[in-house]
Amino acid sequence: MQPRQPFLTDIQEIRKRARQHIDKGAVTEGYQANRETVLRLLNEALATEIVCVLRYKRHQFMAHGLAAQSVADEFAEHAAEEQSHADQIAKRITELGGEPDFNPEGILTRSHSEYVPGDSLTEMIKEDLVAERIAIESYSEIIRFLADKDPTSRRMMEEILAKEEEHAEDMLTLIQRIGKAGL
């Protein structure tokens, strides 16, 4: 009979290590990523989400007129989803023993996406599409960096990325619809 595959790390050793440094909570000695770098990247993603909430909120209230009502609803929905991303990321930062940075000063510098107010409906939607595309690029890079070193943060970022891709698709559909309607 084949001898049983040994567990990756001796279970007794894992139990012993888990009892040490209890103050570190979810961060064990087996944590493979560079925690400082992950915290910095997650705080950048948090800033990106906050900027996206603010931009979508402005667009929600600036989209006037009957024809713009469905667009305003879409902006409102996206703002709420970006807010929930910000919450998820902030929670993960605290799980990793870090502090989510909500200081308004510096949010724009940390954020990957920009805050462009946009005046016309088309301009607003275009800016949102650009911001989503920036988030898609930078989150993909964060995911590649996390790889198998921090699977929990990676999975969270993968779910958020999927949502940003949906958002980008929504904005593209809106641009096409508005183009056809000649608004």
* Residue with smaller CB distance to Fe ion, 99 or 166: 166
In the bound complex, what is the minimum distance in angstroms from residue 2's beta carbon to Fe ion? 48
* Residue with smaller CB distance to Fe ion, 22 or 55: 55
In the bound complex, what is the minimum distance in angstroms from residue 131's beta carbon to Fe ion? 7
Rg (CA), the chain: 21
171 within 8 A of 128, measured Cβ to Cβ: yes
Query: Length of the chain, please?
Result: 183
**Alpha-carbon separation of residue 150 from 37, 101, 146, 164 (angstroms):** 12, 21, 6, 21
* Residue with smaller CB distance to Fe ion, 29 or 83: 83
Q: Nearest-CA neighbor of 159 among 146, 149, 172? A: 146
Q: Residues with Cβ < 8 Å from 26, sequence gap 6 or more?
A: 95, 96, 97
Residues near Fe ion (CB under 5 A) are 49, 82, 85, 132, 164, 167
In the bound complex, what is the minimum distance in angstroms from residue 80's beta carbon to Fe ion? 10
* Residue with smaller CB distance to Fe ion, 154 or 167: 167
* Residue with smaller CB distance to Fe ion, 44 or 132: 132
C-alpha 10/C-alpha 97 separation (Å) is: 26
In the bound complex, what is the minimum distance in angstroms from residue 164's beta carbon to Fe ion? 4
In the bound complex, what is the minimum distance in angstroms from residue 98's beta carbon to Fe ion? 19
Q: Which residue has the tokens 């087996």?
A: 30
